[in-house]
Structure 1
Amino acid sequence: MPIALGNLFDLESQESGGSALFMSPNPTADPQPISGDKNGGDGGGIPVEDWLPITESRKGNIFTATFHLLCVGIGLQVILLPAAFAALGWVWGTIILTVGFVWKLYTTWLLVHLHEALPGIRISRFVRLAIASFGVKLGKLLAIFPVMYLSGGACTILVITGGKSILQLLQIMSEDNTAPLNSVQCFLVFSCIAVIMSQFPNLNSLFGVSLIGGVMGVAYCTVIWILPVTSDVKKTEQVRYATTDESFVHIFNAIGLIALVFRGNNLVLEIQGTLPSDSKNPSSKTMWRAVLISHALVAICMFPLSVVVYWAHGDKIPASGGPVGYYLKLYTQEHSKRAACFIHLTFIFSCLCSYPINLMPACDNAEMVYTVKKQKRASIIVRMMLRVFLGLVCFSIAIVFPFLPYLAVLIGAIALLVTFTYPSFMWISIKKPERKSPMWLFNVLMGCLGASLSFFLLLASALRLDQKGLHANFFNP
């Protein structure tokens, strides 16, 4: 099997003009994978994985993996969960959120155990797993766009949301509700700080960034749901919970807001790739413990936030979601300026820390192209220039398309295949359970349900845009 897979990746190298083998031949603590000879010899090849930022360091541990997962798990979409409850109501909102959480946990379990499913090989990138599962052409076709969108697209939306949050913070802090910077300048400030934070050499070295991002995420989520509980807002104002629009478009848009929270499977294999592994202590054991701890913390954040904020604000929450900044204005209006500033600051720091983690697959791919072309490791200057260039691309897209958050459900519906569909079919392809066995049937069912969910979310989002229009503000953030 390893030889056959080697032949497969040699074929890919020919197709892509010299793309290197990205899979470790031995699950050791410090693997030395090489490109070239299909039987595992160097054949004059180069140690590609040792030169790329995702697998350059395999000295991670349960703490680094936990905080990487936590930082990307508490995304900016979490604070839009009450908007989904405003459309779905108490019962269906809670049921769909719970089902989505369990479903995401299951597909993460599949990926963790597929990381070393092939004897003697570590698959540390989602696209590589797709190729190993579905073949070179189909694997690339299915995986490259959603993975690159989840990397670059997430960073672009972070620039838009983080920049607008900076602008709103400046307005809160001013006496006359004006800010010394405009939107473009706030986008630029956010991008510059984020690009500087992205200069760490590899994914494992971003542990401190992930630690800060995870703590900030837990902090703003906690404050957001604690404030309504401890304030008198509920006592002085009557809140209604009735859902007035029960159309297909409205309901599925709300389901899409919940589904978008459960992205991040595109980084599971990459994070696991930073962990050491041997026959006695495979990386899957450490990674699964990290997954359980991080998901427990994420659940502690998202479930109280969804329920309590909907209880406190009810019909005042925009059921269509809307920009994050608009939602945060509720706290500017109903709570002290100090509390509003704290929420905005922690939210901005969380966005800044999520940026380099989400950008890492794009950085890794860019350095792969350089490494294969030049047959040498990217120097510090080259690495810095590549990351500045990627940051500039994300900033430029944010300026040209500042309305991208309104398309999150539409484009994100395609990327949701990475979370809810592909892992189940990958498990069947690689593990090859007996046909019509319980595991085979369950994964076929989950994969088909995930594909159906993606299709209906795509359809509902397109219909919503057709009904209400996009109101695209090109070059006008």
Structure 2
Amino acid sequence: MVTGGKSLKKIHDILRPDQPMRLSYFTVIFGSVHFFLSHLPNFNSITVISLAAALMSISYSTIAWAASLHKGISPEVVYLPRASTSTGRVFEFLSALGDVAFAFAGHNVVLEIQATIPSTPEKPSKKPMWKGVVIAYIVVALCYFPVAFVGYYIFGNTVEDNILISLQKPAWLIIAANMFVVIHVIGSYQVFAMPVFDMVESYLVKEMKFKPSQLLRVLTRTSYVALTMVLGVSFPFFGGLLSFFGGFAFAPTSYYTCIVLGILLMVLAPIGALRQIILQAKGYKFFS
């Protein structure tokens, strides 16, 4: 929600610099799309959306680091840590771990996706699933590592959480890149929300004894979208939220060789992210 809203606002600010609008308006506009898309029944029904999101991710990440290189190093660039104290640096390190965990997330939807693949004793679904996961993480690395390295090289410690927010020219390219981001997060929202929908609806039917119906689906999914939209409008701290949920939702069981490391990441990353959110909230006005 926050990313989509910020990207839409960036497009507006470039096209209409003399007509400023609140970020909350764009977050609501972005969230409104999901009131319709969230009612798609399953993963198979969002295949086209997911594919478009993947293509957009490759496109905007390439534009981000290429446009940054074209811009050149900022004269006032500083490569020192943002925090001036050792304690602050430790918290920032923990928060960064959550960012990495979120960037390489996907373990929480792997089983849902694998369940849609035909599987037999002769041809188990785990084989194509493993190949798909490996390819997916390679693509993610190729997209995000250049952005991370080039972004820090060009902007230093003043780089924005979304590097495209730091760029202004060429205007048409930055507009296109931010539109790609919007399309990407529309797809990724649905991919990550689908398991939540299934979990909540299953709980309501099996545990709460609700009758399965279209009305139940509409109420459940609409409520979830409304809740996330309100949270996005109220707390538009992209970096902090990214790190918090990246660590908090991390599944240690996806790392069989070192479950302890996964548990530590689940505990420590949200702590660093929560501190970052608190610091950002000090000068923030709700619904601004």
Fold match by TM threshold 0.5: yes
Q: Identity of aligned pairs, percent?
A: 25
Q: Could you list the per-position Cα deviations for residues 317-364 of structure 1 after superposition, in whole angstroms to 9, with x for gaps in the alignment?
A: 25xx4xx3xx433211xx211111011111111111111111112211
Where in structure 2 are the equivalents of 1:388-427 lying within 5 Å? 388-403=222-237, 405-410=239-244, 412-416=246-250, 418=251, 421-424=252-255
1:457 is aligned to 269
Residue 209 of structure 1: CA displacement? Answer: 0.6
**SS of residue paired to 1:292:** helix
State the TM-score, normalizing by the size of structure 2: 0.84
Q: What residue identity is the alignment partner of 2:166? A: L
User: Whole-Å Cα distance in 1 between the matches of residues 7 and 174 of structure 2?
Assistant: 11
Matched, 1:330 2:127: no
CA distance, structure 1, for counterparts of residue 213 and residue 182 of structure 2? 31
Greater relative contact order structure (CA < 8 Å, 6+ sep): 2
Does the CA-based 8 Å contact 2:28-2:233 persist in structure 1?
no
1:411 CA drift (Å) = 5.1
SS in 2 for 1:339: helix
Paired letter, 1:378? S
Q: Which digits, 9 at most, give the CA deviation of each residue in 1:280-310, with x for residues without a partner? A: 1111011111112212211211122222222
Q: Distance in 2 between matches of 1:160 and 1:232?
A: 26
The one of 282, 290, 312 equivalent to 2:154 is 312
Residue 265 (1) aligns with residue 93 (2): no
How many residues in Structure 1 have an aligned counterpart in Structure 2? 282
Deviation sequence 1:58-102 (CA, Å, 0-9, x none) = xxxxxxxxxxxxxxxxxxxxxxxxxxxxxxxxxxxxxxxxxxxxx
The alpha-carbon deviation at position 405 of structure 1 amounts to: 4.9
Classify 1:384/1:460 alpha carbon distance in 2 versus 1 (closer, same or farther; 3 Å): closer
- In 2, the alpha carbon distance for the partners of 1:475 and 1:249 equals 25
Change in Cα spacing, 1:474 to 1:227, as seen in structure 2 (3 Å) is: closer
Rounded Cα–Cα distance in structure 2 between residues aligned with 1:364 and 1:232: 45
CA RMSD of aligned residues (A): 2.9
Partner in structure 1 of residue 50 of structure 2 = 210
- State how 1:343-362 maps to structure 2 within 5 Å: 343-362=177-196
Is the aligned partner of 1:220 residue 2:60? yes
CA distance in 2, matches of 1:258, 1:469: 20
Q: Which residue of 2 aligns with 1:115?
A: none
Q: Is this contact kept in 1: 2:97–2:265, CA < 8 A?
A: no
Q: Which amino acid aligns with 2:79?
A: Y
Answer yes or no: is the 8 Å Cα contact 1:162–1:351 preserved in 2. Answer: yes
Q: Which runs of 5+ in 1 are unaligned?
A: 1-158, 428-442
Residue of structure 2 in register with 1:190 after alignment: 30
Looking at structure 2, the residues matched to 405 and 238 of structure 1 have their Cα atoms a distance apart, in angstroms, of: 23
What is the CA distance between 1:263 and its match in structure 2? 2.2
User: Which residue does the alignment assign to 1:286?
Assistant: 128
The AA in structure 2 aligned to 1:313 is F
Tell whether 2:79 aligns with 1:241.
Answer: yes
Alignment of 1:71-110 (within 5 A): none
Aligned partners of 1:382 and 1:172: how far apart in 2? 42
Q: 1:313 to 1:374 in 2, by over 3 A?
A: closer
Aligned residue type for 2:287: N
Residues 459 and 198 (structure 1 numbering): CA distance in 2 closer, same or farther, change over 3 Å?
closer
CA contact (8 A) 1:195 1:356 kept: no
Structure 1: which amino acid aligns with 2:128?
Answer: T
Amino acid in the other structure paired with 1:354:
S
Counterpart code for 2:282: H
The answer as to whether partners of 1:399 and 1:474 remain within 8 angstroms in 2 is: no
Q: Distance in 2 between matches of 1:307 and 1:171?
A: 27
User: What displacement does 1:371 show?
Assistant: 4.2
TM (norm. structure 1) is: 0.53
**How is 1:367-386 mapped onto 2 (pairs within 5 angstroms)?**
367-372=201-206, 373=209, 377-379=212-214, 381-386=215-220
Distance 1:465 1:192, change over 3 A: closer
Cα distance, 1:461 vs structure 2: 4.3
* Rounded Cα–Cα distance in structure 2 between residues aligned with 1:464 and 1:345: 27
Alignment-mate amino acid for residue 261 of structure 2: L
**Deviating runs (4+, > 6 A) in structure 1?**
none
Q: 1: distance between equivalents of 2:232 and 2:271?
A: 25
Shift of 1:266: 0.9
Superposed displacement of residue 213, structure 1: 0.6
Q: Distance in 1 between matches of 2:170 and 2:53?
A: 24
SS in 1 for 2:167: helix
Distance 1:201 1:256, change over 3 A: closer
Amino acid at match of 1:328: L
